[in-house]
Structure 1
Amino acid sequence: MAPRSNPTARQQRLGAELRKLREGAGLSTEQAAAVLATNRTVITSTEAGRHGVSPERVRRMAYHYDCTDRELVDVLAGMAAERTKGWWEEFRNFLPPTFLDIAELEWFAQRLRMTTLAHIPGPFQTEPFARALFEAAIPPLPEEEFEARVSHRIQRHRALDRPGAPTYTAIVHEAALRIEVGGRAVLRRQLAHILEMAARENVVVRAIPFSAGAFPGSGQSFLYAHGHVPSLDTIQLDRTGVAEFLHTNTQLRKFSLQLDQLERIALTEPRTRDLIRSLMQHL
């Protein structure tokens, strides 16, 4: 197994799940190393995502960790077998790692649900809209990173274009649909693009109108990515531009319930489209 100095989000998640299995079996890293005929450093490096692991090794670890969830083991072995580099890897030396982690999360998800308050969802953004957003950064971004961020943002739609693409449900507050990022013409084209995206079979767009008043999580935008099995679900929070990833059962339940509540108060898809068309008429 060759060491990896720059673990991806997927490698880190695989390592974290292997650590959970080990701890669930009540084994220390030293004990796990003994039963697997390796050394403690390999165990800790694997759990940190810095050390490659084969699918066979994952199955052996799961066996010694007394894991009886065959579906979970199959998924973890599949994660270990994944060797293809994603499109986002070309940005690894130009963008913060969390940008790549979000793209990787979207690509491998089985289903995506998100809510946003002030911005259009990343995979829906047009290039002029994305440029206007990044131009507002303080301090100004270096030109190379600026162009990389715009290109990366636009390419995130690829997760929705690929074969077997996930269902993407976006719950967007009316405020995000009204903020004139880049000016009226840019916003008008952006709203038209959202309508185009909403026409796809795997995309659902619903708006929360101003009239909805208070709602749970009203100060927070987040993405809920459903994994191949529920225990691999992930929440991505955006806190002042810094992505944070959550995985605990308590956190997953909390944000899932928030999304359920938001879907109850959001406009239906037809009424959302009517709202967007009305906003376009006034631009």
Structure 2
Amino acid sequence: MRNPTGRQLRFGSELRKLRERAGLSATEAGQLMGIKQAQISNMEAGRVGVSAERVRTLACHYDCSDKALVEAIAAMTGDRTRGWWEEYREILPAVLLDMAEVEHHATHLRSAVTVHIPGLFQTTDYAREIFRQDVPQMPPPDIEHRVSFRIKRQAVLYRDQPTPHQAIIHEAALRMKFGGPSVTRAQLRHLLDMSDREHVTVQVIPFDAGTFPGSGQAIYYSGGPVPQLDTVNLDQSHGPVFLDSEAQLDKYRVLLDRMKACALSPAESRDFIHTVIQDL
């Protein structure tokens, strides 16, 4: 049996949260359902398929009255197919594949970065230069795998119903000359082109804004069909870290809103990026 994907693990985690809010043990839940405790545990570990109807039955036994949440969890049972990212299963760390899966299913995306242009807006040359700086240094074939994977992730912004993306980018990220002036110039022009898209919003926090919350980390936020199913992805040097507890989601929603308040308007941000390009 294959290891469960990140989405399957999240599905099981949400079932466990419903049970724990009801104050029931896995054994007690199994007794209510007429099944063994081990089956409850396998469901909550994302190791077995669960029908939408069984999710609704579990929620009923757990006295969960949040119908929107229950239906959103039930909808997660309908797709256990493997996406395009599976072609990288033996090539890249599984956590990167989980990130692509989360983005694929997201209803909206938010990002806030201080040093790099957000990955979903990066050009091939810019992304390649970023990966060349990894420690330890990756062999050229591994770099190319990472680059192609990053570019394929961008499909969520180009499909028939593109995922809305709101990006907050600090001036430092605009002025970092990764790959030299020509690569940076092409990258910023591409960022401007993306900001022209109806579903993309880009806002810049200039140096003049001074200090601002969240300045020490890159934040990627993927919206679920209901707020409880949102996911925070913190971009760390060792790979992405996913957060989905209620307190964590609340914290990063507030943090992103406060960062947005510090940023220039979309129109002012476009003018600002034009100025940076002229300075190169």
TM-score range, shorter chain: over 0.9
Contact 1:116 1:220 in 2 (8 A): yes
Find out whether 1:55 has 2:52 as its counterpart. Answer: yes
Correspondence for 1:256: 253
Q: Cα distance 1:241–1:196, how it changes in 2: closer, same or farther (>3 A)? A: farther
RMSD: 1.4
Corresponding residue of 1:76:
73
- Which one of 74, 95, 99 corresponds to residue 96 of structure 2? 99
Q: Any gaps of 5 or more consecutive residues in structure 2?
A: none
Question: Which deviates further from its counterpart, 175-184 or 103-112?
Answer: 103-112
Which of 182, 185, 208 pairs up with 1:185?
Answer: 182
Q: Secondary structure at the match of 1:130?
A: helix
Number of residue pairs the alignment of both structures matches: 280
Q: How many percent of aligned residue pairs carry the same amino acid? A: 48
Query: Please, what TM-score do these two structures have when normalized by structure 2?
Result: 0.96
> 2:197 matched to which residue of 1?
200
Aligned ranges 1:1-283 → 2 under 5 Å? 4-283=1-280
**Superposed CA offset, 1:94-120 (max 9, x none):** 111221121111111111111001111
Moved more, 19-28 or 58-67: 58-67
Q: Secondary structure in 2 aligned to 1:156?
A: helix
> How far apart are the structure 1 equivalents of 2:130 and 2:114?
15
- Could you list the runs of 4 or more consecutive aligned residues of structure 1 that deviate by over 6 angstroms after TM superposition? none
CA distance in 1, matches of 2:46, 2:140: 32
What is the identity, as a one-letter code, of the residue corresponding to 1:85?
R
Opposite residue 14 of structure 2, the aligned amino acid is E
1:115-136 Cα deviation digits (max 9, x unpaired): 0011110110110111111111
Letter in 2 for 1:68: S
CA contact (8 A) 2:96 2:239 kept: no
1:10, 1:27 → 2: CA distance? 24
- Asked whether the equivalents of residues 123 and 155 of structure 1 are also in contact (C-alpha less than 8 Å), the reply is no
